[in-house]
Amino acid sequence: MNFPGYRSRRGSFFGYFLVGLAGALIGGLIVGCVFLGQMDKRIASIPKGISDEGEPDATAPTEIRHRDITGQGLSVAGIASQVGPAVVKISTLRERVYYTFFFGRMVQEEQGLGSGVIFDRRGFVLTNYHVIEKAKEIGVVLSDGREFAATVVGGDYYTDLAVLKIDGDNLPYATLGDSDIVEVGEAAVAIGNPFGFDNTVTAGVISALGRSVPLDAEQGIYLENLIQTDAPINPGNSGGALADGRGTVVGINTAIYAEAQGIGFAIPANTARKIAAELMEFGKVRRPWIGITQVWVITPRVARDYRLGIDHGLAIAGHVRQSPAGLAGLRRGDVITSAGGKPAKSVADLREVVDLAGIGGNLELEIYRDGRTFTVSVSVREAP
């Protein structure tokens, strides 16, 4: 059934509906544009270094991200690129003589691997003495693949340092830094050739300073004032570089504590620089010497147990007969209680005052013998 009035009323309502819908859409668009405009302003105000949803900001410099890792001016990658080319692989050939029941004397060749650091553009290389000790042939391989035969300029057992010389053009070299300004907790990067894996880079921190490691505990010979690091060091790293965040070499890696993880030691760069200068000029390290070869440290407990009339000192257990100490009348069993006016409580104390007296100087030693104390003047000579 058709009702003309119904049709006319329906047409009017639909027209109103269309007008209202159009108004709503226009209003929504206006509000939407205002809202989006405000959002654009807020987004524009966000600092460029802050990334959204944890994604890395493509505009942020890579170097800054590396700085966050190391806490130093250079990234680990930057340190490696600056120091790494100067770190070399050292291969050695030794002859070991041994005797057998059937064949008598026999000679066996042994190969060794280690690391070194070119520290002078003329081709001088720092490494550990134990790396090249008794080597018949020494080869050096650079990170760019160049190979050289090396000659020994000099070596020093007591500091475990040696200097080699290679001849080549455009040799890379590293800068020896100031190890006295190194601080515990700052970044440390070890570069070397552990187990023959060339140019290995490991990172950590400076764990401690002033450590001592025995070379020959019975003789009282120690590597002293070492830098301790947790940057992984393994056999083959010996002689390699321990670098800081400034891109300088602050230590020559020398030893690890085998029964632990993350305990390695490096010879300070200031020590290495001094020893290298001696080796390059004289072929050896000239040392002040008084001829005492072995001592027994007297602690308060030892003094109490043996009912000595002193509470500290260094008992002479061995000395060279024609040495300054021997010529001054010192003998086995004498106890050095004071040296150079300072209490003598350790081998390091005695070594320090001997070094201060220097070659050609005189050293006053206070000696305890048979219940009495007297003073002896010892002339310091160069060690033979």
Active site residues: 130, 160, 238
Number of neighbouring beta carbons within 10 Å of residue 361 = 15
Number of neighbouring beta carbons within 10 Å of residue 225 = 15
Radius of gyration of the chain (CA): 36
Cβ partners under 8 Å of residue 54, min gap 6? none
Three-state DSSP class for 42?
helix
Instruction: Please write down the long-range contacts of 318-321, taking CB distance under 8 Å and 24 or more positions apart.
Output: 318/292, 318/293, 318/294, 319/291, 319/292, 319/293, 319/294, 320/291, 320/293
DSSP 159: T
| H helices present in the chain, as ranges | 4-45, 62-70, 76-83, 129-132, 269-282, 300-305, 324-327, 347-357
**Cα–Cα distance measured from residue 360 to residue 378, given in angstroms and rounded to the nearest whole number:** 10
Cβ partners under 8 Å of residue 20, min gap 6? none
**Distances from the Cα of 76 to the Cαs of 89, 196, 309, 317, in angstroms?**
21, 21, 57, 49
Tokens at residue 81, please?
A: 């690129």
User: Contact 285/279 with Cβ under 8 angstroms?
Assistant: yes
- Count Cβ neighbours within 10 Å for each residue of 283-298 and write b for 16 or more, e otherwise: eebebbbbbbebbeeb
**Cα–Cα distance measured from residue 27 to residue 6, given in angstroms and rounded to the nearest whole number:** 32
Please provide the size of the chain in residues. 384
Tokens at residue 252, please?
A: 């020559």
